[in-house]
Chains A and B, each alone.
Chain A
């Protein structure tokens, strides 16, 4: 099966700043991918590159085997919801649906109107008069009703209240279950992602810090608490991700592809949030090109 996203040494520069640098990814299909990272980590840039709104400065990216934005068929396969959930303010909701039906080859009219009805929105209402959450719902309807194979969502729940957020994620999971859609979802709220994602990409300072299936990642990482010692005294094959020392005690996050051998330490499982935060704080994993700090991704 073709990868959802395949990137090789992908980079995007705005002026002198690298918003994304040396990004290599291969995400298999059928996943709900969570893209996490602090503000300005390059999340939006990566997603815009994937839907063709941006073209790479260096490297290459393919989505479902095709160059993003390369033609009608490619755009039809990829649903995209931009960060601020843009709509045409002068058009009514019904106008938006009509637009979608005209332009997309696989538009699901029934799904679109059912979605609007279930939200309790008046189709005659102008999109410019909607609240932030309603606008996000409309924009999401535009992105999903065209039956894409990949749904790319840039911070979709940021403007939703907790209830709408829950409904939204449930709706998303229903769509995935029903149509087998792959999803890439960015957020800086790990708790949102924890509920729905089975694949994780951690971005920080324009670089990929961690990639993998959630289950696998949580299985190979452990907290190790022991009397104070250096990280390199731990058994071979154990990679120290982070180390914290007090006067008498050391706490390590370690990555080990084989089960931890028993020793004079306490070994505990790592939660997703701790895992993500630790990898975000850590410097670049490999000696790649040094990425500038505080890169702002949105343009």
Chain B
């Protein structure tokens, strides 16, 4: 049975291994170079926590590579669901060869168990290798950008890709079993997987753990730590702070600039501070301090990164197990 699973899966396995090998070589060659450059930059920078000029160029020069690798890790679970999961049973049902295979003194349940076990393991391994490669490769960049909670970063580092891969594989299998045709099963798998990814990242992930609420007064100290300040296209509109609050925290929501009575102020009221080209952020903070302004915001503290990673992975793994169970239930009920 293991042999047949391998034979039916040989093509996908070859493609997957080729991609993994290529990704490993690419990550190793570019990664080693980058890690060396980073170490040299750190050595040349007396206070890395304050920042050095070349860190900016360092980050910018690896943008394209980072996007490429993130796309690969992000797409891998979906591809596993489409090309491993969906055809797993559907291809046999479509060809009718299950009528021959399932009559070779092996119950369909046993067939399913063997195939699911082997390929689920392979899916987890594939995702683990890819995630490990990217997590290592991007560690200097992640350290500099302090933005581990960004959707593309959170979903392509650590353990989350494992959860996605297991889920996508189980989803593809169960849809193949229900729809009984490979191509539609592939399409529906992709649609459902993407939909859940979006819903999870946008709605569920921020609420997996209770968030913290805080108020940030606007002064020179606080402003020196934010990413930027400004109005929208309309200079008389409300004033926003970009990336406020604690370094490496995940900002979930933030109000516009408010005065001490809790009313939003407009850009016109503080235009002298905002439009003064000679001021840096600290200077703007100094300039704004007399207005007694503040923003309210909620965030997930940096310490919640790993709990959130494990919670999300656990959720996807549980869902995968549930779908796996549904496969067994289904194959027992209707076999032809």
Q: What is the interface of chain A, defined by CB distance below 8 A to chain B?
A: 48, 51-55, 69, 71-72, 75-76, 78-80, 82, 84, 86-91, 95, 98-100, 102-105, 139, 142-143, 146, 299
User: How many angstroms between the C-alpha atoms of A253 and B145 in the bound complex?
Assistant: 93
Q: Of A55, A86, A103, A104, which one neighbours B97 at CB under 8 angstroms?
A: A86
Question: Is there an interface contact between A87 and B99, defined as CB atoms closer than 8 Å?
Answer: no
**Interchain nearest-CB distance for B179 vs A (Å):** 14
Question: Is there an interface contact between A95 and B7, defined as CB atoms closer than 8 Å?
Answer: yes
- Which of the listed residues B7, B103, B107, B335 has the most CB atoms from chain A within 10 Å of its own CB? B103
- Does B101 sit within 8 A of A, measured CB to CB? yes
Question: Is there an interface contact between A146 and B104, defined as CB atoms closer than 8 Å?
Answer: yes
**Interchain nearest-CB distance for A87 vs B (Å):** 6
Question: Is there an interface contact between A69 and B107, defined as CB atoms closer than 8 Å?
Answer: yes
Q: A86-B98, A88-B95, A88-B100 are in contact. List 14 more A-B contacts (CB 8 A).
A: A53-B99, A53-B102, A72-B106, A75-B103, A75-B107, A79-B103, A80-B103, A87-B97, A88-B101, A89-B97, A95-B7, A102-B1, A103-B1, A103-B104
A-B complex: 9 closest residue pairs judged by Cβ atoms: A82-B99, A86-B96, A53-B336, A103-B104, A76-B105, A104-B105, A86-B97, A80-B103, A75-B105
User: How many angstroms between the C-alpha atoms of A105 and B105 in the bound complex?
Assistant: 7
CB nearest to A91 among chain B residues:
B7
Question: Is there an interface contact between A90 and B104, defined as CB atoms closer than 8 Å?
Answer: no
Question: Is there an interface contact between A139 and B336, defined as CB atoms closer than 8 Å?
Answer: no
User: How many angstroms between the C-alpha atoms of A103 and B333 in the bound complex?
Assistant: 23
Residues of A contacting B106 with CB < 8 Å?
72, 75, 103
Question: Is there an interface contact between B3 and A102, defined as CB atoms closer than 8 Å?
Answer: yes
CB nearest to B95 among chain A residues:
A86
Q: How many A-B residue pairs have CB under 8 A?
A: 78
Residues of B contacting A100 with CB < 8 Å?
104
Q: Using an 8 Å CB-CB cutoff, how does the interface string of B296-336 with A read, 1 for contact, 0 for none?
A: 00000000000000000000000000000000000001111
User: How many angstroms between the C-alpha atoms of A55 and B103 in the bound complex?
Assistant: 15
Residues of B contacting A55 with CB < 8 Å?
333-335
**Interchain nearest-CB distance for B101 vs A (Å):** 7
- Does B68 sit within 8 A of A, measured CB to CB? no
Residues of A contacting B108 with CB < 8 Å?
69
Question: Is there an interface contact between A299 and B95, defined as CB atoms closer than 8 Å?
Answer: no
CB nearest to A104 among chain B residues:
B105
- Does B50 sit within 8 A of A, measured CB to CB? no
User: How many angstroms between the C-alpha atoms of A76 and B106 in the bound complex?
Assistant: 8
Given contacts A55-B335, A90-B8, A91-B7, is CB(A143)–CB(B95) below 8 Å? no
User: How many angstroms between the C-alpha atoms of A78 and B1 in the bound complex?
Assistant: 20
For this complex, 23 residue pairs linking A to B, each with C-beta atoms less than 8 Å apart, are A48-B336, A52-B335, A53-B336, A54-B336, A69-B107, A72-B105, A72-B110, A75-B105, A75-B107, A82-B99, A84-B96, A86-B97, A86-B98, A87-B97, A88-B100, A89-B95, A90-B7, A91-B7, A95-B7, A139-B100, A142-B100, A142-B104, A146-B104
Question: Is there an interface contact between B95 and A71, defined as CB atoms closer than 8 Å?
Answer: no
Question: Is there an interface contact between B99 and A86, defined as CB atoms closer than 8 Å?
Answer: yes
Q: Using an 8 Å CB-CB cutoff, how does the interface string of B100-133 with A read, 1 for contact, 0 for none?
A: 1111111110100000000000000000000000
**Interchain nearest-CB distance for B49 vs A (Å):** 58
Residues of B contacting A84 with CB < 8 Å?
96
Given contacts A53-B336, A55-B333, A299-B336, is CB(A82)–CB(B100) below 8 Å? yes
Question: Is there an interface contact between B105 and A53, defined as CB atoms closer than 8 Å?
Answer: no
Question: Is there an interface contact between B105 and A86, defined as CB atoms closer than 8 Å?
Answer: no
Residues of A contacting B99 with CB < 8 Å?
53, 80, 82, 86
Question: Is there an interface contact between B103 and A78, defined as CB atoms closer than 8 Å?
Answer: yes
Question: Is there an interface contact between A82 and B96, defined as CB atoms closer than 8 Å?
Answer: yes
User: How many angstroms between the C-alpha atoms of A48 and B335 in the bound complex?
Assistant: 10
User: How many angstroms between the C-alpha atoms of A76 and B336 in the bound complex?
Assistant: 19
**Interchain nearest-CB distance for A35 vs B (Å):** 17
**Interchain nearest-CB distance for A91 vs B (Å):** 6
Residues of A contacting B100 with CB < 8 Å?
82, 86-88, 139, 142
Question: Is there an interface contact between A88 and B97, defined as CB atoms closer than 8 Å?
Answer: yes
Residues of A contacting B104 with CB < 8 Å?
75, 99-100, 103-104, 142, 146
Given contacts A91-B7, A102-B3, A299-B336, is CB(A72)–CB(B107) below 8 Å? yes
- Does B4 sit within 8 A of A, measured CB to CB? yes
- Which of the listed residues B100, B110, B333 has the most CB atoms from chain A within 10 Å of its own CB? B100
**Interchain nearest-CB distance for B130 vs A (Å):** 27
Instruction: Tell me the B57-112 residues at the A interface (CB within 8 Å).
Output: 95-108, 110
Residues of A contacting B102 with CB < 8 Å?
53, 75
**Interchain nearest-CB distance for A30 vs B (Å):** 22
User: How many angstroms between the C-alpha atoms of A146 and B106 in the bound complex?
Assistant: 12
Residues of A contacting B105 with CB < 8 Å?
72, 75-76, 103-105, 146
User: How many angstroms between the C-alpha atoms of A48 and B334 in the bound complex?
Assistant: 12
**Interchain nearest-CB distance for A296 vs B (Å):** 14
Residues of A contacting B336 with CB < 8 Å?
48, 53-54, 299
Question: Is there an interface contact between B335 and A53, defined as CB atoms closer than 8 Å?
Answer: yes
User: How many angstroms between the C-alpha atoms of A164 and B65 in the bound complex?
Assistant: 62
Residues of A contacting B7 with CB < 8 Å?
90-91, 95
